[in-house]
Amino acid sequence: MSAATSTMTKRFDCRDAFATTLESLAERDERIVVVVNDSVGSSKVGGFAKRWPHRLINVGIAEQNMIGVAAGLANGGKIPFVCGAACFLTGRALEQIKADLAYSRANVKLCGMASGVAYGELGPTHHSIEDYGWLRVMGQIGIVVPSDPWETSEAVKAVAASEGPVFVRVSRMAVPALEHGDHSFTIGKAEVMRDGKDVAIIANGVMVHRALDAAAALAKEGIEARVISMASLAPLDETTILEAAATGGIVTVEEHSVRGGLGGAVAEVLAAKMPCRMRLLGFPGFLPTGSAEFLMEHYGLTAEGIAAAARELAAAR
């Protein structure tokens, strides 16, 4: 168990950890290639492109083609990391992801940049808050949602070493580095960031920081909230979910639609094996105009909002 906090003030863009790790892997493994839809800068793969120009495949603004090309590169023995804005990468090429990657079991790594509502004011066309649902229902594609630079770096290493298609969300929202103690990152395993017996908060991505802040606030009121980072949305760590259900209440928090995402995944496990009261925090659907920070506050995806939901569940035990 790691005693994690989010009190450090220095903030990081996880894309930097992503790019650095990818380059260090590419130094040792020439099979690693990058595929982009004209998204070199926004994916921070300019360094990669400079070092290995022949291993950076820019297919232009053509997402369907991008996914098919990646499947073909995998067929040719490469390990393609496909980098593009999460909204276009998933939604625009969904059938290619289904047929060419998931159904074909192609060894392709999808890296959804600027995921969630990171594009804020650019609006719902540019938000990627449907991707968990779209990909999760296929059941044949891993989904990894790291929360900080360390987890991003570990996730990139883990997906490179794994066989088969995986989607990794890489946020562009600056976040603090969390303490992970001696935890080792494994796809399919959650990390308990803080223990607690009164209620459990399951979050991933940028929401983990807010969940930890909520738990710190609740502790001052005498409510011990367990905080779980569910970086691996698929495959899901059912054991940790069922253990969390023993607290009597679970709050899920995600930078995603409340339908079909993390909350839905947790609810599916609980409904079948250990029904438990839940509060699902996330976005209702297409969002109004506003910055990412505004939208999160507007929909209660804040430490206060999470604490309120957890408090309610703890009180109702």
Q: Which residues are catalytic?
A: 63
What is the distance between the alpha carbons of residues 208 and 231, in angstroms, rounded to a whole number? 9
Q: Six-digit token pair at 285?
A: 């659907």
The Cβ of residue 74 has, within 10 Å, a number of other Cβ atoms equal to: 23
Interaction residues for other proteins, span 21-80 (CB under 8 A): 33, 53-55, 57, 59-60, 62, 64-78, 80
Nearer to other proteins, 70 or 218 (CB): 70
- For helices 14-28 and 149-161, the axis angle rounded to 10 degrees is 30
Binding of other proteins at residue 105 (CB under 8 A)? Answer: yes
Minimum Å gap between C-beta 77 and other proteins is 6
Question: From CA 231, how far away is CA 10, in angstroms rounded?
Answer: 22
72 or 123: whose CB is closer to other proteins?
72
**96-104, 130-138, 197-205, 254-262 -> range binding other proteins (CB under 8 A):** 96-104
Residue count, binding to other proteins (CB under 8 A): 32
Contact 85, 63 (CB under 8 A): no
Q: Which stretch binds other proteins (CB under 8 A): 99-107, 191-199, 250-258, 283-291?
A: 99-107
Secondary element (H or E) of residue 77: none
Nearest distance in Å: CB 135, other proteins: 17
Interface with other proteins, residue 279, by CB under 8 A = no
The region that residue 197 occupies, defined by phi over 0 for left and psi between -120 and 50 for alpha, beta otherwise, is: alpha
**Closer Cβ to other proteins, 29 or 293, answer by number:** 29
The residue (of 62 and 269) whose beta carbon lies closer to other proteins is 62
Written as six digits, the tokens of 264 are: 């839905």
Contacts of 258 (CB under 8 A, 6+ apart): 264, 280, 281, 282, 283, 284
Positions in the binding site for other proteins (CB under 8 A): 33, 53-55, 57, 59-60, 62, 64-78, 80, 95-96, 99-100, 103-106
